């Protein structure tokens, strides 16, 4: 019985180490890809983006009102 318990503990530890190792590699790979993408992205020129602010920073009241009306019409149907 003790041999079976030792095998179970050994198998559980092996599984936990395997999952921990895989997750560590996944985190490292994600950070590496994030670093590479940010480095590549900083090299590109983003001149096609219009950096001027809109002259009117008020919220689009007509769009919000229409969305609420549409939601309420679907809710009551």
Q: Where are the domains of the chain?
A: 1-43
Q: What is the percentage of the chain residues whose pLDDT exceeds 90?
A: 55
For residue 55, the model assigns a pLDDT of 63
Q: Alpha-carbon distance 11 to 4, whole Å?
A: 10
Instruction: Kindly tell me if the per-residue pLDDT of 45 is higher than 60.
Output: no
CA distance 19 to 25: 10
* Residue 59 pLDDT level (bands cut at 50, 70, 90): confident
Cβ-count burial 60-72 (b if 16+ within 10 Å, e if not): eeeeeeeeeeeee
- Average pLDDT on 53-59 reads 65
pLDDT for residue 2 is more than 90: no
User: For residue 5, what are the CA distances in angstroms to 1, 14, 16, 17, 69?
Assistant: 6, 14, 17, 18, 65
């Amino acid at each position: 019985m003790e041999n079976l318990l030792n095998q179970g503990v050994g198998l559980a530890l092996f599984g936990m180490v395997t999952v921990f190792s895989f997750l560590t590699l996944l985190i490292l790979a994600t950070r590496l890809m994030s670093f590479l993408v940010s480095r590549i992205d900083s090299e590109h020129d983003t001149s096609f983006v219009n950096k001027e602010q809109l002259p009117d920073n008020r919220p689009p009241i007509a769009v919000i009102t229409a969305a609420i009306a549409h939601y309420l019409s679907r809710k009551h149907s």
